[in-house]
């Protein structure tokens, strides 16, 4: 029951992150885009730090065969690639980002809901391993969700959603993470441990193919690039500091 409580608490916290968009409405879009890139950098460090410092070492401890663990990490990487292709996930981190199709807002909400559902299953599986892995995975998800939710909010606003409606739809989409937690616990999934290396592969995919290219896509000064590097290192350091809680 304690594991379920921590999992639900973590997903509720993540769900409320979807309301962050309201604080950025009155910020100049150009300034917000620059600030968001620093959030993205921090998220990269958090995702990679959780994958390589927590999830992968734990996975090698739980499976007798190192080949099995390595295979599952690759499976996680490929699953996220396939889902992104099928669902047309649009992880955009700019307020003015948009696509030509008028259905992009709907597609974004659908893809984000599925993404959040999967986040919930991964968080539940992580807390079933131990509290430290659960906390580190929750933090990694939070770090990724902050720039994503800002971007999602911007997409909805750009496609003529009112601020109130954009916040509501974003929050409902984020709430699907709770359904993911309940799914794992209601069905008492025996393969929860397999989700840990799969999560690691997914986090590596998000950092390497979604977020890092986002930093390279913008022309930045040397100073900004150094700040981005520092933010990445801070994200990794945060994950490393959690090892002292063991």
Domains of the chain: total: 1
Nearest alpha carbon to residue 231 among 35, 58, 97, 68: 35
228 within some domain: yes
- What pLDDT score does 147 carry? 66
CA-closest candidate to residue 148, choices 201, 91, 63, 191 = 91
| pLDDT tens sequence for the chain (246 residues) | 688 899 999 999 888 887 776 776 666 666 666 777 787 888 888 889 888 998 898 888 878 788 999 999 999 899 888 877 776 544 444 445 544 444 556 656 776 777 788 889 889 888 888 888 899 889 888 877 776 666 667 656 656 777 778 788 888 888 889 998 988 888 766 666 787 888 889 889 888 887 888 788 776 688 888 998 999 999 899 888 877 765
- Please report whether residue 127 resides in a domain: yes
Residue 245 located in a structural domain = no
Residue 166 lies in a domain: yes
Residue 98's pLDDT is: 46
Classify residue 17: in a domain, yes or no: no
Structure tokens at 133: 């892995």
Query: For residues 85 and 100, what is the distance between their CA atoms, to the nearest angstrom?
Result: 18
Domain range for 224: 2-7+36-239
Q: How far apart are CA 178 and CA 119, in angstroms?
A: 9
Distance between CA 5 and CA 2 in Å, rounded?
5
Indicate whether 22 belongs to any domain: no
pTM (whole model) above 0.75: no
Within a domain: 104: yes
Structural domain includes residue 18: no
């Amino acid at each position: 029951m304690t594991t379920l409580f921590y999992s639900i608490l973590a997903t509720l916290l993540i769900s409320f992150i979807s309301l962050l968009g309201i604080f950025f409405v009155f910020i100049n879009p150009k300034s917000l885009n620059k600030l968001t890139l620093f959030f993205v950098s921090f998220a990269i460090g958090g995702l990679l730090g959780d994958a390589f410092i927590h999830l992968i070492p734990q996975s090698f401890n739980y499976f007798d065969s190192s080949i099995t663990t390595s295979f599952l990490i690759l499976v996680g990487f490929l699953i996220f690639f396939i889902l992104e292709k099928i669902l047309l996930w649009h992880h955009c981190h700019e307020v003015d980002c948009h696509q030509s199709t008028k259905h992009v807002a709907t597609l974004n909400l659908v893809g984000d809901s599925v993404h959040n559902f999967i986040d919930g299953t991964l968080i539940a599986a992580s807390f079933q391993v131990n509290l430290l892995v659960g906390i580190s995975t929750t933090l990694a998800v939070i770090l990724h969700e902050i720039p994503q939710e800002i971007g999602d909010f911007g997409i909805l606003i750009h496609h003529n959603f009112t601020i109130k409606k954009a916040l509501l739809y974003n929050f409902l989409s984020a709430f699907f993470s709770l359904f993911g937690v309940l799914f794992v616990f209601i069905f008492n999934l025996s393969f929860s441990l397999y989700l840990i290396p799969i999560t690691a592969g997914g986090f590596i995919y998000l950092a390497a193919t979604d977020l890092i290219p986002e930093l390279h896509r913008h022309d930045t000064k040397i100073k900004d690039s150094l700040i981005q590097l520092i933010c990445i290192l801070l994200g990794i350091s945060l994950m490393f500091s959690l090892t002292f809680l063991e």
